[in-house]
C-alpha cells in the first residue's frame, strides 16, 4: 500500500510539471499582457510599462522566464503577483492561515457541500431503492432530476431570492463570520451532488438488494433493518465512493461559480479573477494548487477504497 502511494506521488511530479508547462505556454500565447492596462482602467504609459517589464523580468526570453519560475516553484515560491503589486502569490494563496486562506475556505465549502450531498443524497437514494416505484421514489427521483439539471448559479440566485430577499433569513455573501453564510453556498453546491449521489445510490442499492448475499442474509433470519444497514449499504456505497473522487474534483471546479455568486473568498474565485486580471503568476499558482489538490483527492479516494472494499489491495 505504501508502495502504491509513493508510486502515485512519484507520478504526480511529471503531471504537475506538464500542468505548469501547458499553463505557462497558454498564458504566453494569450494576447494582452498583465501590464497593458493600468488598474485605473487606462492605458499604461509606455514608460511605466517598460519599467514594469524590467522589474518582473518580462524582457527575458520565454524559456528563461519559465526556468526562473520553476526554480522558484521548487522552493515553493510562486513568485510576485502582477495585479496585486507588492504582494506575492504565496501571500494571496496562503495568507490567513489554516482558517482563512483561500484554499482552506474552498475546502471548507467543499466539505460542507460534500456533507450536504451525502446526507441528502444517500438516504434519498436508499429510500428510493427500498420503496421502489412508490410515490416516495418518484418524488425523490423527480427532485433529483431537477437537481442534476438546474445549473449551480441559477439555483444560487433562486436561493438568494427566497432566503435573502424574500424571507431575510440568510446573509447573501461572505464566509466565516457566521455559519449562516454557509447555508446557501453549501446547498447550491451540494444539491447537484446530492441529486447525482441519490440517483447513483438508488441504482446501486437496487442492484445490491437483489444480490444473492442479501438473500443469504435474509435466510439467516436477520431483521430487514440489519440486512439493509449491515449487508446492503456498504456494498452499495462502493460505486458511490468510486465516483466521489471525480466528483470532488468536479466540485473544485464547480466552486468557481458558487464562490463567485456568493462572494466567497476561496481559491475558485481567486482563479477566475486571476484569469480576468491576467495575473500570470497567480493563475500559475492557483493551477498548480488545483492540480496538487486533485492528485491528493484521487489518492485519498483510492485509499478509501481499501477500507470499504476488501477485494481491492494495492500490491
Partner 1 sequence: MISNYRRLSILPLLAVVAIALVVAACTPAPPPPPVPTTPPVVEEPTTPPEVEIPTRVGLRAVDDFTLEITLTSPQAFFDSILAFFTTYPTRLDVINQFGDDWVLPGNLVGNGPYVLSEHEPQDHVTLTANPNWWGAPFTIQTFTQPVITESSTMLAAYENNELDVSGFPSAELPRILEDPVLSQEFHILPRPGVYYVGFNTNRAPTDNFHFRAALASSIDRRNILDNVLNNPWREAAQGVIAPGIPGYQGTDTGFAFDPAAAQAHLQLYIDDTGQTCTADSPCSFVVDLWFNQGNEDVLEAVAAGWTENLILTDADGNEIAAVHATTVRMEWAVYLETLDQCNATPDDTALCDYNAYRLGWVMDYGDANNIVNEVFAPGSPFQYTGYESAEVSGLIDQALTERDPAARAALWTQAEDLIVTDLAITAPIFFYDRQGLIKPWLDFEFPPFGAAFIHEWGFVEGVAVPVGVPEGMGVDTIRSGSTAEPPTLDQALATDTTSHAIINNLFAGLYKYEPDGSITPYGALSYEVSEDGTVYTVHLNPDAVWSDGTPVIAQHYVDGICRMLNPETAAEYAYVMYYILGAPEFNSGEAVECG
Partner 2 sequence: MGYILEVKELMTQFFTQDGVVKAVNGVTFHLDKGETLGIVGESGCGKSVTVLSVMRLIPQPPGKIVGGNVLFDGQDLLKVSDEQIRQVRGNKISMIFQDPMTSLNPVLTINQQVSEALMLHLGMNKEEARQRTTELLQTVGIPQAEDRIEDYPHQFSGGMRQRVMIAMGLSCHPDILIADEPTTALDVTIQAQIIDLVKRLKDEFGMAVVWITHDLGIIAGIADRVAVMYAGYIIEEASAGELYKNPRHPYTLGLLGSVPRLDEIKTDRLVSIEGLPPDLIALPKGCPFYARCPFRIDRCIEENPPLDAQVYDSDHRAACWVDVTTGRPI
Q: Which residue has the cell 463567485?
A: 260
Whose Cβ is closer to partner 2: residue 142's or residue 229's? 229
Q: Which residue has the cell 461572505?
A: 174
For residue 157, the partner it binds in partner 1, partner 2, none, with Cβ less than 5 to 8 A by kind, is: partner 1
Whose Cβ is closer to partner 1: residue 95's or residue 134's? 95
Q: Cα separation of 72 and 288, whole Å?
A: 13
For residue 23, the partner it binds in partner 1, partner 2, none, with Cβ less than 5 to 8 A by kind, is: partner 1
Whose Cβ is closer to partner 2: residue 194's or residue 217's? 217
Closest of 110, 197, 184 to residue 148, by C-alpha: 197
Whose Cβ is closer to partner 1: residue 197's or residue 270's? 270
Closest approach, Cβ 314 to partner 2, in A, equals: 15
For residue 199, the partner it binds in partner 2, partner 1, none, with Cβ less than 5 to 8 A by kind, is: none
Q: Which stretch binds partner 2 (CB under 8 A): 31-39, 107-115, 166-174, 218-226?
A: 218-226
Residues comprising the chain, all counted: 315
If binding is defined by CB under 8 A, does position 315 make contact with partner 2? no
**Residue 233 half-sphere exposure, CB side, CA atoms within 13 Å?**
14
For residue 52, the partner it binds in partner 2, partner 1, none, with Cβ less than 5 to 8 A by kind, is: partner 1
For residue 65, the partner it binds in partner 1, partner 2, none, with Cβ less than 5 to 8 A by kind, is: none
If binding is defined by CB under 8 A, does position 64 make contact with partner 2? no
Q: Which stretch binds partner 2 (CB under 8 A): 74-82, 194-202, 229-237, 297-305?
A: 229-237
What is the per-residue DSSP string for the chain? -HHHHHHHHHHHHHHHHHHHHHHHHHHHHSSS-TTSB-TTSSBPPHHHHHHHHHHTTTTS-HHHHHHHHHHHHHTT---B-SSSTT-BHHHHHHTTHHHHSHHHHHHHHHHHHHHHHHHHHHHHHHHHHHTTTSHHHHHHHHHHHHHHHS-HHHHHHHHIIIIIIIS--S-SS-SSS-THHHHHHHHHHHHHHHHHHHHHHHHHHHHHHTSHHHHHHHHTT--HHHIIIIIIHHHHHHHHHHHHHHHHHHHHHHHHHHHHHTT--SHHHHHHHHHHHT-HHHHHHHHHHHHHHHHHHHHHHHHHHHHH-TT----
Closest approach, Cβ 223 to partner 2, in A, equals: 7
Closest approach, Cβ 229 to partner 1, in A, equals: 24
Whose Cβ is closer to partner 1: residue 140's or residue 285's? 285
If binding is defined by CB under 8 A, does position 206 make contact with partner 2? no
For residue 90, the partner it binds in partner 1, partner 2, none, with Cβ less than 5 to 8 A by kind, is: none
Whose Cβ is closer to partner 1: residue 232's or residue 257's? 257
Q: Cα separation of 305 and 313, whole Å?
A: 9
Whose Cβ is closer to partner 2: residue 75's or residue 210's? 210
For residue 230, the partner it binds in partner 2, partner 1, none, with Cβ less than 5 to 8 A by kind, is: partner 2
If binding is defined by CB under 8 A, does position 231 make contact with partner 2? yes
Whose Cβ is closer to partner 2: residue 167's or residue 219's? 219
Contact footprint for partner 2 (CB under 8 A): 210-213, 215-223, 230-231, 234-235, 238, 308-311
Amino acid at each position: 500500500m505504501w508502495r502504491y502511494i509513493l508510486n502515485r506521488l512519484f507520478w504526480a511530479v511529471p503531471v504537475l510539471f506538464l500542468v505548469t508547462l501547458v499553463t505557462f505556454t497558454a498564458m504566453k500565447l494569450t494576447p494582452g499582457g498583465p501590464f497593458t492596462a493600468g488598474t485605473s482602467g487606462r492605458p499604461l504609459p509606455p514608460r511605466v510599462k517598460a519599467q514594469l517589464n524590467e522589474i518582473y523580468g518580462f524582457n527575458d526570453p520565454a524559456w528563461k522566464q519559465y526556468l526562473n519560475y520553476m526554480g522558484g516553484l521548487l522552493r515553493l515560491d510562486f513568485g510576485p503577483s502582477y495585479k496585486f503589486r507588492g504582494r506575492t502569490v504565496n501571500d494571496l494563496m496562503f495568507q490567513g492561515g489554516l482558517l482563512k486562506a483561500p484554499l482552506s475556505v474552498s475546502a471548507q465549502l467543499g466539505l460542507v457541500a460534500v456533507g450536504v450531498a451525502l446526507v441528502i443524497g444517500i438516504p434519498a437514494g436508499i429510500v428510493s431503492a427500498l420503496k421502489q416505484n412508490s410515490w416516495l421514489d418518484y418524488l425523490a427521483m423527480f427532485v433529483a432530476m431537477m437537481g442534476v439539471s438546474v445549473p449551480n448559479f441559477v439555483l444560487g440566485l433562486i436561493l438568494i431570492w427566497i432566503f435573502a430577499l424574500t424571507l431575510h433569513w440568510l446573509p447573501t455573501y461572505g464566509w466565516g463570520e457566521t455559519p449562516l453564510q454557509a447555508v446557501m453556498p453549501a446547498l447550491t453546491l451540494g444539491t447537484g451532488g446530492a441529486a447525482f449521489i441519490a440517483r447513483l445510490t438508488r441504482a446501486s442499492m437496487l442492484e445490491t438488494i437483489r444480490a444473492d448475499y442479501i438473500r443469504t442474509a435474509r435466510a439467516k433470519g436477520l431483521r430487514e433493518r440489519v440486512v439493509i444497514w449491515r449487508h446492503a449499504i456498504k456494498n452499495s456505497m462502493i460505486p458511490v465512493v468510486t465516483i466521489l473522487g471525480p466528483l470532488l474534483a468536479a466540485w473544485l471546479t464547480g466552486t468557481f461559480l458558487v464562490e463567485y455568486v456568493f462572494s466567497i473568498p476561496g481559491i475558485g474565485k481567486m482563479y477566475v479573477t486571476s484569469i480576468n486580471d491576467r495575473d500570470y503568476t497567480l493563475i500559475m499558482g492557483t493551477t498548480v494548487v488545483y492540480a496538487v489538490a486533485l492528485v491528493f483527492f484521487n489518492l485519498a479516494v483510492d485509499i478509501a477504497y481499501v477500507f470499504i472494499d476488501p477485494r481491492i489491495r494495492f500490491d
